[in-house]
Amino acid sequence: MKQVMRAAVAALAVGAVLAAAPLGAATSEQLAQEVRAAETAFAKAMASRDFAAFTSHLADEAVFFGAQSVQRGKDEVMARWKLFFEGPDAPFSWEPEQVEVLDSGNLGISSGPVRDPAGKRVGTFNTIWRREADGHWRVIFDKGCPPCPAPCPATSEGAK
């Protein structure tokens, strides 16, 4: 029994070290592509009405900001978002435009337009992703906002 406990503790310790370790050869561009792919698959789950696939992208401690409330934890998020999966057609869609990842390779952000079923832009989403111990990117924070009334002016660094 003690050997089993020691093995379990060792496995947890190795997992924690791997989760915190830099990703070595992966560049920030490669990591951003991983987050972009995760966001795209997340949105595709909504479009294809696949609630199980959608929930597989949620971290256990995910926090989603709604118009009237905040859902804390995967179970609350699932309970609220299950309503968006009723019916044959998705009530909205989204796609990543901007994606960035920290140099540590453990956190990323994706942002882009939210569109109604007719394709009209009705908002902007912002999602924070965390690279989990199993190597998968999962949502830890998600917040939408209305679209900006006018495009942001360009600066010497580009549009912000």
Q: What is the pLDDT of residue 26?
A: 80
The helix (run of H) or strand (run of E) holding residue 31 is helix 28-47
Task: Give pLDDT tens digits for 93-125.
Answer: 999 999 999 999 999 999 999 999 999 999 999
Confidence (pLDDT) at 25: 56
In order of start, what are the domains of the chain with their CATH numbers? Answer: 27-148 (3.10.450.50)
CA-CA-CA-CA torsion sign (111, 115, 120, 124): negative
15 pLDDT band, cuts 50/70/90, is very low
Angle at 138 between CA 130 and CA 9, to 5 degrees: 75
What is the C-alpha to C-alpha distance for residues 78 and 68, in angstroms, rounded to an integer? 16
Query: Phi and psi at residue 137, in whole multiples of 5°?
Result: -85, 130
Cα distance between residue 27 and residue 32, in whole Å: 9
pLDDT digits over 63-98, tens only? 999 888 999 999 999 999 999 999 999 999 999 999
C-alpha span between 113 and 126 (Å, rounded): 9
